[in-house]
Structure 1
Amino acid sequence: MLTLAGVNHSAFTAALSQNPSMPSHSGRMSLREPDPAPRPARSAATTGTPRKWRSLSWLCTPASDPTAPILEPAASTATTQAGGTPLADVLGSPAATAVLTEDDLVQPTPRPAFLAAVPVSWRPKRAWLNLVPSPRSTPFTFGYLVLLLGTSLLIRFGSSKLTGKLLAVSSTDAHNMARHPLTALLTSAFWIADGGWLPYAVIFAIAVAPFERRFGGLRTALVFFSGHVLATIATELPVMALIHTDVLPHSAGRWLDIGVSYGFLTTAGVLVALLRGRARIAGIVALELFVIGVYVTDDPASLASVVTVLGHACAAHFGLLVWGPRLRSVPRIAR
């Protein structure tokens, strides 16, 4: 009788009875492990469906019937409705056979007719549109331009009696500066003398909006109105002294002195101070030429023009020499 060392005789007998046809090589018998259990068959609903599209299977299941199959087998044929589009063409899955009608597909929004008539080369670029003041990027500049537009329309279409009274109270002449200086200083910057709003809108887009994009609305308002107040006081106090000493007639203290030029010249001076190298030199030359050009195109022989050009020079150099060095180290605001 054959004996096997280290093997339980009862366990070996049971294994031999279960598999009597175990092969034998060289007189030695080996036990073979049973075959692994077969894998479960894949369902017809997911056969051939990529894994990345299985999460979209709820698109094909009606909400009223939760027991309905998610997707039909790829081998089954689906009747395509007239004008419909198979879901397989949309999702790229060979097993998707649901039908989408033309009403279910998102159609592209047609372009307006007036844009189609404008040539592409004439349409504004996005970079140029970013320079236009907007309530989101430059709220101070945009709101100030809206206010100036309202006062300009009031001067243009309002009654002359009403606008005359408003301008007389808002003027920063020597008469008003001696009686109600705060009212004159605050309200004189909200009017445009000639009512030409569009040129000032261009100037604000060049000289005020870039300043606000860099430093924010609060600092822009501070620099703008500080230049307006300082230049007004620096030019009107000498006039008041000359009138008090009878060097100038009393009629010189009642000319109309309104406008926003002192404010935007101050911000323009700061922007020039922030430039470097030759760009700063070119900016200073352009700023000085602007001040001289306004004086020459006005009435150079009148006292009002002399006072105005002194105020322009004071405001521009106040921004260039005082605010510029202070704001040069201030970081740009986060957008």
Structure 2
Amino acid sequence: MTLREPTPAPRPARSAATTGTPRKRRSLTWLRRQAHVQPGPIPPPGTTDVLEPAPTVAPPQSGETLLEDVLGSPTATAVLAENALVQPAPRPSFLAAVPAGWRPKRAWLSLIPSPRSTPFTFGYLVLLLGTSLLIRFGSSKLTGKLLAVSSTDAHNMARHPLTALLTSAFWIADGGWLPYAVIFAIAVAPFERRFGGLRTALVFFSGHVLATIATELPVMALIHSDVLPHSAGRWLDIGVSYGFLTTAGVLVALLSGRARIAGIVALELFVISVYVTDDPASLASVVTAVGHACAAHFGLLIWGPRLRSVARVAR
């Protein structure tokens, strides 16, 4: 007799729902899904679970602000009183004590030279103020010697030209500093705001040197040929007019259309008015007028076309 093991019963075929994920992983996945579901409140027996509409919020009254307007969240519906919001403290102004009619306009304040926006113009005006105060309150003997050494007359140009050319532009003949401060604010400060301090100094002193040489060399030649007396070589020749007229000529050249024509006419009238109001009959006034014309046209015809294509300095 042969013993045989019983034939095992056939296993049921696995359905498509049970063939994908193992049982252990399916249970873990089910637990994770149930963990994300927040259980809601259990209704008491005998009641029906009905979704209630969201409560409506009454519109804010005057003087109140919705929290969603403050936080930028559409779900924030709390109401805050207006006085509960933190208001920024106002900045104290040094012009608060000045009457409103006396306060200067901001556009006018930007035209005043300052050490930050126009360091060359501001420093030059400070230096001219110091020399003007020295002429006014210093001893006449000391100031006389300083002016004699700084003058760009024919005598100094023949003996020490560099010293005379450098120092003559730091003095004002009549000591009137305030009119020159206004002129520098109009003719030099705008130039520096556009082209910077280094280029302003280059144009300013190049015009001063060129106009001085153009006027003093003929005087030296006339003295050497005995056409003029030797006393003409001691004329006091100081000032800053050659420099700022050169920068003014460049600014006029940068204009266009009718504005340039008006600027040229105003520049020529300024040169003529200085000559007429000085002493037209004297030879010194003629030499000064020629120097003014050379400086203005040097900036208008030479520096102006060269600087027209130069980009504005970034601030």
Task: Give the unaligned 5+ runs of structure 2.
Answer: 1-11, 17-29, 40-66, 72-77
Residue pairs, 1:234-245, within 5 angstroms: 234-245=214-225
Q: 2:180 aligns with which of 200, 221, 232?
A: 200
SS of equivalent residue, structure 1 residue 36: helix
SS of equivalent residue, structure 2 residue 273: helix
Q: 1:39 to 1:155 in 2, by over 3 A?
A: farther
Task: Give me the CA root mean square deviation.
Answer: 3.0
| Displacement after TM superposition at 1:136 (Å) | 1.0
Structure 1: distance between partners of 2:195 and 2:84 = 53
- Greater relative contact order (Cα 8 A, min sep 6): structure 1 or 2? 2
Structure 2: distance between partners of 1:40 and 1:253 = 106
| Displacement after TM superposition at 1:111 (Å) | 4.8
Structure 2: distance between partners of 1:110 and 1:317 = 49
* Corresponding position of 1:58: none
Aligned-residue identity in percent? 83
| Displacement after TM superposition at 1:116 (Å) | 3.0
Structure 2: distance between partners of 1:169 and 1:260 = 16
Q: 1:274 aligns with which of 254, 258, 263?
A: 254
Asked whether 1:187 is paired with 2:167, we answer yes
SS of equivalent residue, structure 2 residue 236: coil
Residue pairs, 1:78-93, within 5 angstroms: 89-90=84-85
* Corresponding position of 2:191: 211
**TM-score where L is the length of structure 2:** 0.74
| Displacement after TM superposition at 1:36 (Å) | 2.5
* Corresponding position of 2:264: 284
Structure 2: distance between partners of 1:305 and 1:333 = 38
* Corresponding position of 1:116: 97
Structure 2: distance between partners of 1:237 and 1:7 = 117
* Corresponding position of 1:177: 157
Task: Give the unaligned 5+ runs of structure 1.
Answer: 9-32, 42-48, 54-73, 75-85, 92-104
CA offsets, 1:37-94, max 9 Å, x none? 37789xxxxxxx99x98xxxxxxxxxxxxxxxxxxxx9xxxxxxxxxxx9x9246xxx
Structure 2: distance between partners of 1:208 and 1:225 = 12
Q: 1:326 aligns with which of 297, 306, 314?
A: 306
Structure 1: distance between partners of 2:15 and 2:302 = 103
Asked whether 1:315 is paired with 2:295, we answer yes
Residue pairs, 1:1-335, within 5 angstroms: 6=14, 36-37=34-35, 89-90=84-85, 108=90, 110-111=92-93, 115-119=96-100, 121-335=101-315
| Displacement after TM superposition at 1:143 (Å) | 0.7
**TM-score where L is the length of structure 1:** 0.70
Structure 2: distance between partners of 1:142 and 1:116 = 28
Structure 1: distance between partners of 2:182 and 2:38 = 75
